[in-house]
Every structure is written in C-alpha cells, then in structure tokens.
Amino acid sequence: MTRSFSDKEKKDITQQLLSRGKELFERYGLKKTSIEELTRAVGIGQGSFYIFFNSKEELFFEILDAEERELRERIAQMIFESSQTKRGFKDIITRSFYLMNENAIIKNVLADEEEYSRFFSRIPKKRLKTHLEEENEFVGSIVKQLQSSGVIKNVKPEVITGLLFGLFLLQEHKVRIGEETFPQIIDLLIDTLCDALVTQGKRNLLTGNPSYLMEE
C-alpha cells in the first residue's frame, strides 16, 4: 500500500526526483535506469513513484524539457552577442549544434534510434505537442528577428526552422553516416546552409522565385 503525502512533501519529492533523476539518467541512460533506483535515491517506495509521474519516460521528458529551455536561453544570448555576418550566423548554428548534442540528457535520447522512437511514443501527445510548439516558436522568433535585421534572406521561417531541426537530428544517425567524417560533414552542411541563407553569403543559392521564398 502506498503512503499519502502532503502538498509540501509532493513538491519536495518531485524536485528530488527531477534532480536525482537527472544524475542517474546522465550516468546510466534512460534505458538502464530503473524506477527502483529512482525511488531509492529519494527515499520512497516504488509504488509511490506513480503518484508523481506515470512512467520514468515522463520524468525523463520533464528533465529534457528543462535542459532544452536552458539551452534556448544560452542560444538567445549567443545571438544577442554575435556579429551580424555570415561568420557570426555560422558560429551560432555550430555552437548550438554541439551544445545540444554534447548535452548528456539530449544525447541520451538521440544515441539510439529505436530508443528515441519508443521514448516519444510514451509521452502524452498533448504534452509533446506543447513542447514542440515551444521549440518551433523559439526558432521561428529568432529567424524573424534575423530577417528583420537583414542578416538572413527572406525565406519562409517554417522552412528555415525545419532545416535547422533536420540538421540537429543528424546526430541520431551519426554511426550510419560515419563517425570519423561526421564533424567534417556537419561543418560542410552548416557552411552550405549559411551560404544559402545569409545575405552576405559567398554564393546565392536562392535564385528565381522558388516556393520556399516568402512573397514580397
């Protein structure tokens, strides 16, 4: 029989689960961390875990969401401090890519394609939808800001957002792409993307009036 908790205890235990859960997930990964280990770390029974989260995946997702929020703040600061040039834009994308893919929590999800799919299938659709909308809104606002200041070309923000998400998710396929050449491939892709998007780029790949351009 699971014990009852006061509102204060629930709040404290939730924070402990988030804190200790992050430590355990970073050390062992989502797959190898058990609910028994999580509950033992905060001093509650296994059955009590479900008072706070429906699954260890939901706990992991809350930690992942917090990590990504912190990264978004760091990226926004980088943009504020960057030079308004192709070099500055490339530096932002490159640093953002490695910040995301060197984060132990984010990397844990992207490291295994099968685990990636299984993990997201266990997150409530409404919660996942809100998370994705926040990501899209953040990237979209940055794109519009850079376009309004004349740094990048008049490409539809949703197209640029999709390109950036596609780039960041390549880490999931690192082994298949080739681990030895992966850094060079990413660097070339980012350079090509910047050439295509930045107004001061070396080459203008956006000639004519293709469908991904916004109407004047």
Residue ranges of the chain whose pLDDT lies below 50: 201-209, 216
Please report the domains of the chain, with CATH numbers, ordered by start residue. Answer: 1-53 (1.10.10.60), 54-216 (1.10.357)
Q: State how far the alpha carbon of 173 is from the alpha carbons of 39, 67, 68, 166, 167, in Å.
A: 33, 22, 20, 11, 11
Nearest CA to 115 out of 184, 212, 32 is that of 32
**pLDDT recorded at residue 203:** 40
Digit-coded pLDDT (tens) for 105-116: 888 776 666 677
Token output for 92 = 């932002």
**pLDDT recorded at residue 2:** 65
**Interacting residues of 184 by C-beta distance below 8 A, sequence separation 6+:** none
Q: Running DSSP on this structure, what letter comes out for residue 214?
A: P
**pLDDT recorded at residue 214:** 59
**pLDDT recorded at residue 20:** 97
**Interacting residues of 187 by C-beta distance below 8 A, sequence separation 6+:** 94
Q: 186 near 176, Cβ under 8 Å?
A: no
